Each structure stands twice: as structure tokens, then as C-alpha cells.
Amino acid sequence: MSDEKNWDDIPSLNLEMDSSPGEKVKSGDNRSCQRMDAESLKNLLEQKYLSLPIRISTRNLGVFDGIILDISKSGVRISIPKALMRGELVKVGFNLNNQTIYAKSVVKWGKKAGSGVGFEVGMEFREVSSGGIKFIETLSSAHLFRMKDGGLKF
């Protein structure tokens, strides 16, 4: 059974992309992408955030909220109250500034959070709402120029 058929079994996040195509993300490139932690990301945004919320929708657990820990153009690491299984298909949605980003994603790994409360989960984006990848790339590039030592690391 293909991934596309399974996405329809997951509840809607009531976002624009639920019924429209988005940008496909090249699978397997997550190790080559610049990751940006939540604190660095918050410093680049126009709005001030205490945390970066994300909404998750799954076939078995329904819709619930979590917090973004780090992000790249190919995926996101989040903190959530519920465990997800490796390989599980999910939909995620979050807002950065005035940009709503929605993605069909696959759970790559999960573990109990270090605090013992909740879980950390890594997800790979498979399809991202229009302009979402470019927006994340732009933030990531801006982050490189604002690194503590004042420049790029090679």
C-alpha cells in the first residue's frame, strides 16, 4: 500500500494543504541539512515565543500538541506527551511568524524524554506546504550568519 493512500486515514489539521499538493522533500537527506535549535529559531522570528508549538495528527492517537526542539528543511525534532511508533505516518502543522507550515511526515525515531515526562520524536518531512521548505531554508541561512562566534563555521 502506498504512503499516499495512508495519509487519508489521518485526521485533518484543518489547514490549507490537507487537500492541496505541496513541495516534495527528498527522502534521506536529513543528515546533510543544517539544523536549528528552538532557541536560535525564536531569536530569528519577528514574534516573541516562549516555546514553538506544533500540532500533530495521527491515525491512532488523533490530534494533539507538542513543542518544536529543532528543525531543518528535511525534518523536525519535537517534544510530545504521547509515544509514536517508528515508521508511523503523521501530519504536522506549525506557525512561524505569519507563515503556516504543514507537512506530511514519517516518524524516524522516538524515545522517552530525558526528564522522564513525555517523549522526543524525530520526524522526516515527506511533503511540505507551498513555500514551507524555502522559508525554513531562509531561517537556517540567517542562523548561520548569527552564530555566536560571529560567522560561518566550515
- Extents of the domains making up the chain: 3-145
Q: What average pLDDT does this structure show over 111-136?
A: 89
What pLDDT band is residue 87 in, cutting at 50, 70 and 90? very high
pLDDT at residue 61 greater than cutoff 80: yes
In this prediction, residue 105 carries a pLDDT of 96
Task: Name the CATH code of domain 3-145 (choices 1.10.3720.10, 1.10.287.3510, 2.40.50.140, 2.40.10.220).
Answer: 2.40.10.220
pLDDT at residue 146 greater than cutoff 60: no
Question: Which residue, among 55, 77, 52, 67, has the nearest Cα to 11 in the 3D structure?
Answer: 55
In terms of pTM, does the model score above 0.75?
A: no
Please list, in sequence order, all residues whose beta carbon lies within 8 angstroms of the beta carbon of residue 137, skipping any fewer than 6 positions away. 73
Q: What average pLDDT does this structure show over 122-139?
A: 89
